[in-house]
Chains A and B, each alone.
Chain A
Amino acid sequence: MDLSSIIMLMQTAMAQAAEQLPEATSAITGDDIRLAGAMLGAGMCMGFGAIGPGIGQGFAAGKACEAIGRSPENAGLLTRTMLMGQAVSETTGIYSLVVAFLILFVLS
């Protein structure tokens, strides 16, 4: 079988597929795919984005508890430092939230 006949076979197969395609997938439009992709993207964005801040803030809180156990008289200072550290650790979580909102409400 030479090259031209293979190309011809492929062309007929593609033409047949193109004829069948609209019937098989007529229910799905481009907007549907776009919305579905937006929802999946936002879900993954927030879901995976929440892992890091959660663990990081827990570390900070744990160390603060440990330190307060050792020197309770500095509790105010330690709690303040803990909250400041956690706020910085929170930023990536907020980035995820903002990007998820952007995907859901601005881009979709």
Chain B
Amino acid sequence: MDLDPHIIELIGRYLGAGVALGFGGIGAAVGMGLAAGNADEGIMRQPETQSQMVRTMLIGQAVGGSPSIFALVIGLMILFVPSASLSGTETTMVAGLIAAGIAIGLGCFGSGLGCGWPAAAGCSGVARNPRHASRITQAMIIGQAVAQSPSIFAAVIALVLLFVNFAPGAAEWAIVGIAIGAGIAMGAGGLGPGLGSGVTAGGAISGLSLWPQTYGTTVRTMLIGQAVAQTPAIFGLLIAFIMMFAMQDIGDGIIGFARAVAAGVAVGFGGIGPGIGSGIAAERGCSASAARPRIEALVLRTMLIGQAVSQSTAIYSLIIALIILYVL
């Protein structure tokens, strides 16, 4: 069966945009819904805080909605950018369109849900402690900004997949594999860290609403915990860039295709668990150091040891991906 190249291109555009918006919308929608639910609950308990609550909710939702806006922008690009300005041959261009959708869709899923977590915690916190609403809102924005970074990495990779002529000199099917592999590495690799950093920020904000005088300690613990939780996303970004720009010879035909996809699956899906797990560890660490700032060093030590152990499987995945790329 021979298909018109134009039809294949259209299939690629529809698939890519569908995956981008389908997955990219879930996280932010659930997150914003959580925030609205907690705001309603807070207003029900303390009706006099209504105006402050609505403000915190809207700020949280505006920041938490931005991953879905990234997905929308990339999705519209996948649908409507003329094929003359996209990179690659007919086949590799279609792969790039689908892979960009995978990268931005999965990457924004985690970040969107992750940004909703602190927004929900912020609304509950304002209800609990309306006098310190501005402090709580400030910590919420800081936490959301960090939780958003995997979606920004994913947007960068999606734009590279669409517009840059990556892997020059590789065989056509190897380039298809590199595109799909890089999309999975960054998309799935960003899912866990985005959600995990959001959970961390939620714990910090809950702690802060009970003990607002520990702002400095709690935000410090939160940022350290979030930074560790981000490592799997950076592994995904690293493997995606290595495959696209630093591989000398990835192999021909089916070997090159399988090598790139396998490395992407290993490092991408391997990052989900460690990202979420490190985030949960840091969430409890933040609560503990907010409650008792005097033992911050002890809590921080335990949290970092626990996170390091939780990251070990992400490092195994990275090792397997590097072996697949360079040894075999």
Q: Which residues of A are in contact with B by a Cβ distance under 8 Å?
A: 27-28, 32-33, 35-44, 46-66, 68-70, 72, 75, 78-79, 82-83, 86-87, 90, 93-94, 96-97, 100, 104, 108
Contacts and interface: CB of A to CB of B under 8 A. Distances in A.
Contacts of A59: 277, 280-281
B316 A97 contact: yes
B261 A68 contact: no
Interface residues of B, number: 63
A50 B281 CA distance: 17
Contacts of B261: 40, 43
A40 B266 CA distance: 9
A62 B298 contact: no
B274 interface: yes
Contacts of B265: 40, 43-44, 47
A47 B273 CA distance: 10
B159 to A, nearest CB: 25
B262 interface: yes
16 contacts: A33-B254, A39-B324, A42-B262, A43-B262, A47-B268, A50-B271, A50-B274, A50-B316, A54-B313, A61-B280, A61-B307, A62-B282, A66-B288, A68-B298, A69-B284, A96-B313
Contacts of B323: 104
Contact of B287 (A49, A58, A69): A69
B307 A90 contact: no
Interface stretch (B30-38, B48-56, B123-131, B289-297): B289-297
A53 to B, nearest CB: 5
Interface in B164-200: 188, 192, 196
Interface of B: 188, 192, 196, 252-255, 257-259, 261-285, 287-289, 291-292, 295, 298-299, 302-303, 305-307, 309-314, 316-317, 319-321, 323-324, 327-328
A43 B306 contact: no
Contacts of A100: 266, 320
B263 A93 contact: no
A72 B300 CA distance: 12
A40 B196 CA distance: 27
Contact of B255 (A32, A72, A94): A32
Interface centre among B258, B262, B295 (most CB of A within 10 A): B262
- Shortest beta-carbon contacts, A-B, top 7: A61-B306, A58-B277, A54-B273, A69-B288, A43-B262, A36-B258, A47-B269
Contacts of A50: 269-274, 313-314, 316-317
A94 B316 CA distance: 8
B262 A40 contact: yes
B253 to A, nearest CB: 5
Given A55-B280, A65-B299, A68-B298, A43 B324 contact: yes
B273 A51 contact: yes
A104 B324 CA distance: 8
Contacts of A60: 306
Contact of A52 (B271, B273, B327): B273
A53 B313 CA distance: 7
Nearest to A48: B269
B328 A68 contact: no
Contact of A104 (B254, B269, B328): B328
B300 to A, nearest CB: 9
Contact of A54 (B264, B276, B327): B276
B252 A27 contact: yes
B269 A51 contact: yes
Contacts of A42: 262, 266, 320, 324
Given A57-B310, A62-B281, A90-B313, 4 more contacts: A44-B266, A57-B312, A59-B280, A66-B284
B192 to A, nearest CB: 7
B263 A64 contact: no
A59 B279 CA distance: 9
Given A50-B269, A72-B292, A79-B302, A58 B281 contact: yes
A56 B158 CA distance: 31
